[in-house]
Amino acid sequence: MRRAIQDCRVLLTGASSGIGAALTRQLATRGARLLVTARRTERLAKLASEFPNQVEFIAGDITCGAHRAALVERVRREWGALDLLINNAGVGAMGRFDDADESRLRRIFEVNVFAPLELTRATHSLLSSGRTPAVMAISSVLAHRAVPLKSEYCATKFALHGFYDSLRAEWAKEGISIVLVSPSTTDSDFFDAAIEDSTGREWKGRRPMTPDYVARRAIVAWQRDQHELILPLSGKLLVTIDRWFPALADRLIARFG
């Protein structure tokens, strides 16, 4: 399978920066039509102005049910169907779990788990009417191997993977594909937008990938109907070591994580 981008109808969350903005630009440049969302209105407006005939936006909080309903209604009214849902919006939190409170845990699960799951449910009928429909979820290599000081974040990504692995089998007969994109550290404002960081560590010094690179690889994975894309090679290596040599992975994480 090689999905066509031209005239593909896309709903994308978390579009105001990072991977979401890069995906928007690359898909629009190649002829896709997008409805994008995020909380930062000015950034969305600037992004949409680059592609006035192809990108529309609705600003809002993806954890709000009314906002999700507005997105779905816009897609239904203007397109009547959906070819690609990209659940990209997410937040992080760094620090010891026992130093945090319940509000941090609940907030990160609302954004990273409940919102994308409910949006996936809400768009099911639209995807069923789409052309070679698919759901792309921007996850993390940490969905495979948890690390210290990111316990809540890792838990959300494990949950996301479990859900979409199950849904892939559920929706297979309907022709709706699931594509998981699991990058390591990406050069974006993700850490700046974290709910909380009590570690005092400089996470950005870890040779991050660019959002453009991740977006480009993610689009190819979707076009090829790939189940999961793990980036970069070091991320694949960590997943492999954890699968076959978990004790070694524990030692590596304890030393370098």
236: its two tokens: 């694949």
Question: Quick one: pLDDT at residue 237?
Answer: 74
Structural domain including 74 reads 9-256
Give the Cα separation of 46 and 48 in Å (integer). Answer: 6
Question: Quick one: pLDDT at residue 30?
Answer: 98
Residue 4 in domain:
no
Residue 187 in domain:
yes
Q: Which amino acid, residue 48?
A: A
Per-residue pLDDT of the chain (257 residues; tens, 9 = 90+): 789 999 999 999 999 999 999 999 999 999 999 999 999 999 999 999 999 999 999 999 999 999 999 999 999 999 999 999 999 999 988 888 888 888 889 999 999 999 999 999 999 999 999 999 999 999 998 888 878 888 899 999 999 999 999 999 999 999 999 999 999 877 655 444 554 555 445 444 456 889 999 999 999 999 999 999 998 776 777 777 767 877 877 777 766 65
Residue 2 in domain:
no
Question: Quick one: pLDDT at residue 189?
Answer: 53
Question: Quick one: pLDDT at residue 202?
Answer: 45
Question: Quick one: pLDDT at residue 148?
Answer: 81
DSSP per residue, 49-114: HTSTTTEEE--S-TT-HHHHHHHHHHHHHHTSS-SEEEE------BS-GGGS-HHHHHHHHIIIII
- The number of domains in the chain is 1
Question: Quick one: pLDDT at residue 187?
Answer: 61
Give the Cα separation of 206 and 186 in Å (integer). Answer: 9
Residue 234 in domain:
yes
Question: Quick one: pLDDT at residue 204?
Answer: 45
CATH (domain of 72)? 3.40.50.720
Judge contact between 156 and 195, C-beta under 8 A: no
Residue 60 zone, left/alpha/beta (φ > 0; ψ -120 to 50; rest): left
Residue 228 in domain:
yes
Question: Quick one: pLDDT at residue 203?
Answer: 41
Residue 58 in domain:
yes
Residue 1 in domain:
no
